[in-house]
Structure 1
Amino acid sequence: MRIASLLPAATEIVGALGLADDLVAVTFECDRPEGIRATRPVVVDTALPAGPTPGEIDAIVRDRAARNLPQYELDRDALRDAAPDLVLTQDLCRVCALPESTVTEALADLDLDATVLTVDPHTLDEVLDAVAAVARAAGAPDAGTDLVAGLQERLTAIDQAVGGRPRPRVLALEWVDPPFLPGHWVPAMVRRAGGEPLAGIDGGRSVATSWEEVAAQDPDVVLVAPCGFGLDDAVAQAEEVRERLPGVPMVAVDSASYVVRAGPRLVDGIEAIAHALHPDAVPAPPPGRITRLS
């Protein structure tokens, strides 16, 4: 099957299923399986400029949304040449990836007869369901069953490691300028890691707030997980948050890989957060995933 993945999480799922050879098109953000972006046509790119600060990104995104301008650009010629049988897309967040409506319109205009699977998980359980759905659509249901079972086993191991221990009050921030409280599966990640999530909405969208409201939550730990940023940037932004919340321990995480991407590595993220919250109960993750700032 020829698979075009227009969503980094879906590309990662396809790779984890052992189907990387079936990928015929990816996005500019697809970095798992390693090297996939260099060996496949990139059919989705960002419409945003390179290098802005979080505050500038927020302003640019809001301005483009107000003017009904896209946040992403689809290379229709490259998609036509890829001739996919299956297209993986999303409609969860127009800021995070190309929306489904743009994809279906392009397929119709290009006269491409491809199956479209929209991957729109809102919760951690739905992420696991999405893994199984991609496997079925790609003709590999058994691989999906095995992958989900392995992820569930790892989650159970975390539950057992942190069960019965004191649960620190954790405030997760998905953005820092302005601050955004977490949504979707992030509160569940904190909970499964042995923390008590503050604010945020299970299964809902992240919500902008103020620093006064952030401080009023009185957290034991702040998890700085800025959407789309890796660990180095998360650490730098955590340093800025620490100036606003002096004395509160900060945990910075590679959010782009382990928090906001709705794929198998969310479990890696939960393991890393669990170690940050309970270092004497959960093994340390590989370097580069998380940093605790005292």
Structure 2
Amino acid sequence: MRIASLLPAATEIVGALGLADDLVAVTFECDRPDVRATRPVVVDTALPAGLTPAEIDATVRERAAAGLPQYALDRDALRDAAPDLVLTQDLCRVCALPEATVTEALADLDLDATVLTVDPHTLDEVLDAVAEVARAAGAPDAGERLLADLRRRLHQIDDALADRNRPRVLALEWVDPPFLPGHWVPAMVRRAGGEPLAGIDGGRSVATTWQQLRDDTPDLVLVAPCGFGLDDAVAQAATVRERLPGVPLVAIDSASYVVRAGPRLVDGIEAIAHALHPDAVAAPPPGRIATLS
């Protein structure tokens, strides 16, 4: 099957299923080593490079208000890829190309492809999405094996952290302005042995103010800026340290282990669990998380 993944999380799922060779198109954010340099990129960002978090926020708001897209679809490249299955989303127009743009393009290009929209809101729905992609790609058995392993690892964390004290964790999905997380992120903190101080399970991330955050001081802040890797998260933690002095900080590669609704969320939970309970959970490989203070 020829699979076009227009969503980095979907590319992660396809790769984890052992189907990377079936990918014929990906996005600019798809960074798996086995597809990054060998597949045509059909989705790119419409935002300028090199913007600060505040500038990104302002630009996204301006483009949304003007009805402009945040992503660009290369229709010619998609036509040439001739996919049988297209994986897309309609969860967040800021994070990925919306479904309506994809279906319109397929119709205009006269491409007869199956479209699977992957829109999980919770951690359980992320696992369900893995099974959906596996079935759509004709690999249900691989999906069952992958899910069994992911659930085994989650149960191991549960067992390791049973009856432990849970630090109050403030997860920040953006720092300028500050945003509280939604969707599966509060559940990730909970499964990692923390008590999420704010955020909406299964909902959207919401803007807040530093004054509101200072009114209820957390035990620890998890700096997880959406779409950024570990080095950028560490750099942006300086803003948090300035605004919430004296609070311990942990930075994480959010792009890979927090915001992508795929198998690596379990890697992220393991990394956060180690940061919160280093004597109970093994340290993750380097490059995933950093304890700053």
User: Shorter-chain TM-score category?
Assistant: over 0.9
TM-score using structure 1 length? 0.99
For 2:137 and 2:158, locate their aligned partners in 1 and report how far apart those are by CA, in whole Å: 31
For 2:162 and 2:171, locate their aligned partners in 1 and report how far apart those are by CA, in whole Å: 21
Give 1:86's aligned residue. 85
> 1:217: how far off?
2.3
> 1:215: how far off?
1.3
- Give 5+ residue unaligned stretches, structure 2: none
For 1:187 and 1:159, locate their aligned partners in 2 and report how far apart those are by CA, in whole Å: 16
For 1:240 and 1:181, locate their aligned partners in 2 and report how far apart those are by CA, in whole Å: 15
For 2:164 and 2:125, locate their aligned partners in 1 and report how far apart those are by CA, in whole Å: 27
TM-score using structure 2 length? 0.99
- Give 5+ residue unaligned stretches, structure 1: none
Give 1:18's aligned residue. 18
SS in 1 for 2:278: coil
Is contact 2:90–2:118 with CA below 8 Å preserved after alignment? yes
Give 1:224's aligned residue. 223
The aligned runs of 1:153-164 (5 Å cut-off) are 153-164=152-163
Q: Which moved more, 1:202-211 or 1:213-222?
A: 213-222
> In the TM superposition, what whole-angstrom CA distance separates every residue of 1:14-73 from its partner, at most 9, and x where no partner exists?
0000001100000000012x1412101100000000000000000000000000000000
Q: Which amino acid aligns with 1:19?
A: L
Moved >3 Å (runs of 4+): none
Q: Which amino acid aligns with 2:229?
A: G
The aligned runs of 1:152-231 (5 Å cut-off) are 152-231=151-230
For 1:12 and 1:35, locate their aligned partners in 2 and report how far apart those are by CA, in whole Å: 11
> 1:107: how far off?
0.2
For 1:188 and 1:35, locate their aligned partners in 2 and report how far apart those are by CA, in whole Å: 30
For 1:173 and 1:216, locate their aligned partners in 2 and report how far apart those are by CA, in whole Å: 15
Q: Which amino acid aligns with 1:5?
A: S
For 2:205 and 2:215, locate their aligned partners in 1 and report how far apart those are by CA, in whole Å: 18
SS in 2 for 1:36: coil
For 1:126 and 1:273, locate their aligned partners in 2 and report how far apart those are by CA, in whole Å: 20
Q: Which moved more, 1:235-244 or 1:258-267?
A: 235-244
For 2:54 and 2:238, locate their aligned partners in 1 and report how far apart those are by CA, in whole Å: 16
Give 2:76's aligned residue. 77
For 2:130 and 2:149, locate their aligned partners in 1 and report how far apart those are by CA, in whole Å: 12
For 1:139 and 1:261, locate their aligned partners in 2 and report how far apart those are by CA, in whole Å: 22
Q: Which moved more, 1:271-280 or 1:208-217?
A: 208-217
For 2:162 and 2:215, locate their aligned partners in 1 and report how far apart those are by CA, in whole Å: 28
Give 1:125's aligned residue. 124
Give 1:150's aligned residue. 149
> 1:93: how far off?
0.2
Q: Which amino acid aligns with 1:228?
A: G
The aligned runs of 1:239-254 (5 Å cut-off) are 239-254=238-253
Give 2:281's aligned residue. 282
For 2:233 and 2:162, locate their aligned partners in 1 and report how far apart those are by CA, in whole Å: 28
Cα RMSD over matched residues? 0.5
Q: Which amino acid aligns with 2:169?
A: V
Give 1:2's aligned residue. 2
Give 1:106's aligned residue. 105
Identity of counterpart residues, as a percentage?
A: 86
Q: Which amino acid aligns with 1:20?
A: A
Is contact 2:257–2:265 with CA below 8 Å preserved after alignment? yes
SS in 2 for 1:39: coil
> 1:199: how far off?
1.2
For 1:269 and 1:68, locate their aligned partners in 2 and report how far apart those are by CA, in whole Å: 34
Is contact 2:20–2:34 with CA below 8 Å preserved after alignment? no
Q: Is 1:27 equivalent to 2:54 in the alignment?
A: no
> In the TM superposition, what whole-angstrom CA distance separates every residue of 1:72-105 from its partner, at most 9, and x where no partner exists?
0000000001000000000000000000000000
SS in 1 for 2:36: helix
SS in 2 for 1:172: strand
> 1:174: how far off?
0.1
Q: Which amino acid aligns with 1:4?
A: A
